[in-house]
Amino acid sequence: MSSKNKAGGPSPDKSKGDKTATDTQAVLKTNDIVILQAMATDDLVAALPFNPIKALDQGHDNAISPPPGKTVKPDSSELTASTRTEEAGTAKTGRAAPAGTNATVASLERVRVDAGGEPLTTNQGVRIADNQNSLKVGLRGPTLLEDFILREKITHFDHERIPERIVHARGSGAHGYFEAYDSLSKYSRAAPFARKGKITPVFVRFSTVAGERGSKDTARDIRGFAVKFYTDEGNWDLVGNNMPVFFIQDAMKFPDLVHAVKPEPHHGMPQAASAHDTFWDFASLMPESTHTLMWLMSDRAIPRSYRMMQGFGVHTFRLVNESGESVFCKFHWKPKQGTHSLVWDEAVKISGADPDFHRRDLWEAIESGEFPEWELGLQIFTEEQAEGFSFDVLDSTKLIPEELVPMTPVGRMVLNRNPDNFFAETEQVAFCTAHVIPGIDFSNDPLLAGRIHSYVDTQITRLGGANFHEIPINSPLATVQNNQRDGIHRQGVNRG
């Protein structure tokens, strides 16, 4: 390395080994920071010339409990900055991010907006004098293309809608919390079950399956019951239905099922209803769907209220404890308000008077302080027990009778806050069966395997790209630190 730097000053002296913190801070105040960063990079590379734990990639024990990676710390965090000017902040840039922080993961308080008493502005923060008339040549002349206020307002309006979900498009949601009854550490190390009384924030979305976003609430249909747990070890999405079984055994058939249940392609009818030729043709050729059909056509199929609706994880999952030991489980939500349904005549009359019946009922109950509550119960069983059953526990068209595996209550969920904005929260929330946390794992259910892929894929299309996890309602409370970069609508500004 040359004895002179580009600014003409002497290079930092490395003859005495690593610099002290005092020396480093002194150099940081000079133009020598550029050379010091280069030298520090050399030091970091030299300190870790190879991966000393690479051999530990192999072996059963290492796979069960991977060792932490080897790291080397620089003399100063300033040496790993993206730019030497990061402290030369403005009102926009602010200061450098504190070590280990990610401002994109926090409560929704960081993004709430209240414009009360404030002047009207454009999206660029420019005050608007007239929001009712376009800019013209004279009183009656043509509208000018330079009217950027008109253009912004119209253009944003033209792009307000996003693709609706292919299934579960019609939904309603609410915030709340889950409270554990006791530690479940014998079976699972999952954060929500870590200790008695532990509180975990949740967001829940209830939905119909077949209907479009503007369809009626009281259709004869399966209901979605999706819960996002914002745990201190990441987000866990328990994405289930109000019936314990499903139409098919393998995800390969899912597109065929949905195409059959959707409106007839030539005239777009019937809406939010499955009782038509293409669906019955599918069902007649798939006898595995009979069990779910019995539930769907029964008197319990149409809930009286989302508050009075059961929820089921449908699939068999695994619970894994700290020792890596696993058991199978099924998830069940039982409403404390009781399970109540509408008969067909009631549902038809209600849909004509109020197609938003379920949405209105949930909103008004929470607004009036009648917070709905559910108890979470688990059916826990071993692989040895599963081998002894007369049915396959990996078949989502089957349920496990409680006479064989009793329910174990593990906690309660309370919904106590309505969303501030339907689109920002209920519409943009993204549930994915792939989102699990330590202590919760998948089984080999082939329908579950397909959902693990499909749900992530559909959110990428619906929400505009791979960064949908940074949308506030989807971002976890647990810190997020990784090497993923870029993509449309990226929010995080990564340092270094």
Secondary structure in 3-state letters for 180-242: ECCCCCCCCCCHHHCCCCCEEEEEEEEEECCCCCCCCCCCCCCEEEEEEEEEECEEEEEEEEC
CB of 119 closer than 8 Å to CB of 127: yes
DSSP strand E in 311-460: where? 311-312, 317-320, 326-335, 373-381, 408-417, 440-442
Q: Of the listed 5, 102, 235, 241, which one is catalytic?
A: 241
In terms of phi and psi (left: phi > 0; alpha: psi -120 to 50; beta: otherwise), the region of 45 is alpha
Longest pairwise C-alpha distance within the chain: 91
> Pick from 416, 239, 415, 424: which is nearest to 315 by CA?
239
Active site residue 133: no
Residue 462 φ then ψ, to 5°: -70, -35
The catalytically annotated residue of 102, 168, 332, 358 is 168
What residue spans of 311-442 are helical by DSSP H? Answer: 344-353, 357-367, 383-388
3-state helix, strand, coil in the chain (%, to 5): 30, 15, 55
**Residues 6+ away with beta carbon under 8 Å from 198:** 179, 180, 191, 192
168 belongs to the catalytic site: yes
Strand partners for 317? 329, 442
Q: Which residues contact 231 (CB under 8 A, 6 or more apart)?
A: 190, 191, 192, 200, 437, 476, 477, 478
What amino acid positions are annotated as catalytic residues?
Answer: 168, 241
